[in-house]
Amino acid sequence: MAQEEGGSLPEVRARVGTAHGIPDLAQKLHFYDRWAPDYDQDVAALQYRAPHLAVDCLTQALPGLPHSALILDVACGTGLVAAELRARGFHQLHGVDGSPGMLEQARAPGLYQHLSLCTLGQEPLPSPEGTFDAVLIVGALSDGQVPCNAIPELLRVTKPGGLVCLTTRTNSSNLQYKEALEATLDRLEQAGAWERLVACWLPPSWRWYPASLPRMASSPALSTCTENGR
């Protein structure tokens, strides 16, 4: 996709729309492989703020989280979440993603101590139980990406009392997934596996995309920080 570098805003929107419309995970990861070199500039053009807001959510939910905290960025992509975490002084960062192309981009700036190829929903996270003080997953909980049944795996690698921070989209194409996700979160909370601390809805001015992109602008994203109750 590098030949499309510097594409116009309509082209960038079309590319994001294409990504959202791919239902098959293998095809989606292949799409991310090709998108990887242009991903950062494309999502910047679309005012993508989910990494910034998720890290805000995390730090507000646990203001005392030490800078030495070990943090896992699941579906880390090119490393936008790591850049936000680094900017706030967190430096013990691990990342996993199912796209080798995205991981290659994430590796270049050296923001992560460890990066691993891992496809959530198909294989376990490459870490023992209770490893991380906090686990984030940003921009990957939606149809055709990380399935809801991977949520317990996020909890497994989080320390007791640690934090899990999630985002999902609430635009109409993702409503079914979002409902399934919320049902999964509720079931796990009722089972005592974790406790919801905060849920934030983006105000309209913080939407991911300019308002002229109706289907995607019509709904904000949701961030949830949850404490692992094990």
List of residues contacting ligand SAM (CB under 6 A)? 25, 29, 32, 50-51, 75-77, 80-81, 97-99, 102, 119-121, 138-140, 145-146
Which lies closer to ligand SAM via its Cβ, residue 26 or residue 175? 26
Q: How far is the CB of 198 from ligand SAM (least distance, A)?
A: 19
Query: Among all residues, whose Cβ is closest to ligand SAM?
Result: 77
Residue 47: how many CB atoms within 10 A of its CB? 12
Which lies closer to ligand SAM via its Cβ, residue 50 or residue 165? 50
Q: How far is the CB of 102 from ligand SAM (least distance, A)?
A: 4
Beta strands 70-74 and 221-228: pairing type? Answer: unpaired
Q: What whole-number distance in Å separates Cα of residue 134 and Cα of residue 93? A: 10
Which lies closer to ligand SAM via its Cβ, residue 9 or residue 229? 9
Q: What whole-number distance in Å separates Cα of residue 108 and Cα of residue 223? A: 28
Question: Phi and psi dihedrals of 63, rounded to 5?
Answer: -60, -25
Which lies closer to ligand SAM via its Cβ, residue 33 or residue 229? 33
* CB of 167 closer than 8 Å to CB of 199: no
Which lies closer to ligand SAM via its Cβ, residue 88 or residue 161? 88
* CB of 51 closer than 8 Å to CB of 79: no
Q: How far is the CB of 192 from ligand SAM (least distance, A)?
A: 27
* Residues linked to residue 158 through DSSP beta bridges, in sequence order: 132
Q: How far is the CB of 56 from ligand SAM (least distance, A)?
A: 14
Residues 6+ apart with CB under 8 A from 58: 65, 134, 136, 163, 165, 225
Q: How far is the CB of 25 from ligand SAM (least distance, A)?
A: 6
